[in-house]
A and B are shown apart, each in its own frame.
Chain A
Amino acid sequence: QQQVKQSPQSLIVQKGGISIINCAYENTAFDYFPWYQQFPGKGPALLIAIRPDVSEKKEGRFTISFNKSAKQFSLHIMDSQPGDSATYFCAANTDSWGKLQFGAGTQVVVTP
C-alpha cells in the first residue's frame, strides 16, 4: 500500500512553462516532505524539502506548496528548461530513521 500518492505519471511541458506535480499522503505523523530529482543512471538527488509548519518554500525556480489540512503537497517548476527533463519523486518521512516513503514518480519532459 503506497503511503504517498503522486500524480501525474508523466507530463510534457514547453520550455519556459510551468511544471506542476502533486502528492497526497495519509499518515499525519509525516513531518518531512522532500522532492527528489533523478536522471537516468543516477541516484535521486534532493531538490527541495519542506516541514509541515510552513505552507510554501521556494528555492530558485522550484517551489513546494504544502496544504496540511488537505494532506497534499506539490512541486512547481517555473520557467522549465530542457535540463529539467528528469523523473521527480515526492517523499515523506517521520522520525523513523531513514525510512523515506516515496511516491511513484513523475517523468517530466521539457520540449525546446
Chain B
Amino acid sequence: KAGVTQTPRYLIKTRGQQVTLSCSPISGHRSVSWYQQTPGQGLQFLFEYFSETQRNKGNFPGRFSGRQFSNSRSEMNVSTLELGDSALYLCASSLGDSGNYGYTFGSGTRLTVV
C-alpha cells in the first residue's frame, strides 16, 4: 500500500514569489491535513480538507491556502513568500471519519526562501 506522497521534495524560491505544494494521500483516505515544521515553532497545523471542503484551519495568514480535489489529492499554495516561510511542509492523510485519528505523514517538502 503506497504511503503519503509529497512533491516536490525540495524547493528554493525567492521572496515575493508564490509556490504550490502537492500531496497524494493513501488510497481510500479522504482527509488531508497540512503542517509547517520549523526549528523555532515546531509542528504547527495549517488546515485540513475533507471531501474537497476545508474543515479546520490554523492560525496562519491568508497567504497560505489550500484545496482538495475529487480524488482526495491536495495542494497548498503560499503567495508572496517571506523568508520566514522557509520550513518543512508536511501533509498527513487519514480516513477522516469521526473518532478515527490514524494520521499518516508524508516525508514533506523542504521549502527554502531566499
Contact = CB atoms under 8 A, between A and B. Distances in A.
B58 interface: yes
Interface centre among B31, B92, B99, B103 (most CB of A within 10 A): B103
A102 B104 contact: no
Contacts of A49: 101
Nearest to B3: A43
Contact of A44 (B43, B55, B99): B43
Tell me the dominant secondary structure on chain B's binding face: strand
A98 B92 contact: yes
Given A89-B43, A96-B56, A43 B107 contact: yes
Interface in B61-114: 90, 92, 94, 96, 98-99, 101-108
Given A43-B90, A43-B105, A102 B33 contact: no
Contact of A46 (B32, B58, B103): B103
Query: How big is chain B's contact interface, by range?
Result: 20 to 34
Interface string B30-46: 01110100000011110
A103 B42 CA distance: 8
A93 interface: yes
Interface in A34-61: 34, 36, 41-46, 49
Interface of B: 4, 31-33, 35, 42-45, 48, 50, 55-56, 58, 90, 92, 94, 96, 98-99, 101-108
Given A2-B42, A97-B31, A103-B42, 19 more contacts: A43-B4, A43-B90, A43-B92, A43-B106, A44-B90, A44-B105, A45-B105, A95-B98, A98-B31, A98-B45, A98-B92, A98-B103, A99-B58, A100-B43, A100-B92, A102-B44, A104-B42, A105-B42, A105-B43
